[in-house]
Amino acid sequence: MKTKFSNYIIALLFIILLLNILPIPAFCMEDEKTIYLTFDDGPAKKVTSDVLDILKKEDVPATFFLIGNQIKGQDKILLRMKNEGHSIGLHSMSHKKANLYFSDEGFLKEMLDAQNIIKEITGETSNILRFPFGCNNNSYCLKPGLVELLHENNLNIYDWNVDSTDGANYTASPSTYIKKSKSDENQIFLLMHCGYSNKNSVKALPDIIKFYKDKGYTFKEINDTTKELYHYKKK
């Protein structure tokens, strides 16, 4: 009996050793529920600061896609984003369709100009961007040529797959944004906004975070290693 028991213990220890050595299978990692909270159209003084207060209280990271022309005088907000573990992305200088979608070179220039402003303040180069109005909108549909140009300049593209609708309808009730933000996808890139008009987005945010925490999601910020999210519109 002692020999059988000893053999059992040895076998058990061997299994534990293997589990500690072998990598976690890829299919297990793909099943991880992940949410990327993303906020466009900042910085916007109190609204953006209120969003940061909630994120700090809830201890979750997020990604902010900023408009270059709005940054002046709001250095402290950018530094707070950086110091509190959030990612800062590019959302152009002007956020104006006529400027952005006239030419690929014009689009790139707006992103690089915003990149330079952010680097002057934070000391870090942001290589993540979001197309204003999305990479397929009523003024422009994404083309391989622009993707190539952006990649040549080390810029990665991130659209969204869940829309809170607080951009197109910023006067809606917080409950509307909460409802629209709910999803059961394994990987969620949630579009929200922290511009000057997005006061109700701030009110909705705690309940949105609670929903995904209760569902067991891991909150992450977008960085250079995050797989890009964009698509070409079908003709």
- Please list the active-site residues: 40, 193
SS (HEC) of the chain: CHHHHHHHHHHHHHHHHHHHHCCCCHHHHHCCCEEEEEEEEECCHHHHHHHHHHHHHHCCCCEEEECHHHCCCCHHHHHHHHHCCCEEEECCCCCCHHHHCCCHHHHHHHHHHHHHHHHHHHCCCCCEECCCCCCECCCCECCHHHHHHHHHCCCEEECCCEECCCCCCCCCCHHHHHHHHCCCCCEEEEEEECCCCCHHHHHHHHHHHHHHHHCCCEECCCCCCCCCECCCCCC
